[in-house]
Structure formats: C-alpha cells, structure tokens
C-alpha cells in the first residue's frame, strides 16, 4: 500500500514541477524575441509531451503492480525541470 502511495505522490510531484516550469517559461517569454519565442514554445510542448508519456507509463506500471519503477518514472519530470532550469540560468536565456 505504501509503495503505491509513493508512486502516486511521485506522479503528483512530477506534474506540479512540469506545471511550474510551464508557468516560468510563459512568464519568461513575455518580452522575448521571435527566435526565443519559438524555442520556448518547443520547450513547453516537449514538457507537456514528457508529462503525458510519464503519466501513461506510470499508470501502466502501477496496474502491473510495479510501484517503485512507477515512482521513479513519476519523479523523472522533476529531474528534467531541474536540469532545464540550470541550463537556462547558465546560458542566461
């Protein structure tokens, strides 16, 4: 039971981190140049696609009674968001 709770919590945390990054990207693109705007749109679509795939794989793993792999998959968007944030700060985007 606790393993399933961990998998669900990891998926929720991954979803919240993706939504947070989408909001930050939208706020950062308010005064962007056209090239940056296009890059930002691709980053946002990539994050949305990643989150949809992660949720689908996490649900499949939970149905197959593999909660720890589902938790790892569910938390992966947080790792991607942290790496993307570090990259964007480093290049001063």
State residue 65 phi and psi, 5-degree precision.
60, 45
Q: What is the pTM for the complete model shown?
A: 0.87
The stretches of 1-93 forming alpha helices (DSSP H) are 2-28, 34-63, 67-90
The contacts of residue 77 (CB under 8 Å, 6+ apart) are 14, 15, 17, 18, 47, 50, 51, 54
7-36 mean pLDDT: 94
Q: Could you give the 3-state DSSP secondary structure of residue 64? A: coil
pLDDT in tens, 38-78: 999 999 999 999 999 999 999 999 999 999 999 999 999 99
């Amino acid at each position: 039971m606790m393993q399933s709770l961990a998998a669900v919590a990891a998926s929720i945390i991954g979803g919240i981190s993706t939504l947070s990054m989408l909001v930050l990207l939208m706020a950062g693109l308010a005064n962007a140049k056209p090239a940056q705007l296009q890059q930002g749109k691709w980053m946002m679509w990539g994050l949305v696609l990643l989150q949809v795939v992660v949720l689908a794989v996490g649900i499949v793993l939970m149905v197959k009674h593999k909660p720890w792999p589902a938790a790892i998959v569910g938390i992966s968007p947080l790792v991607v968001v942290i790496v993307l944030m570090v990259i964007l700060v480093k290049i001063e985007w």
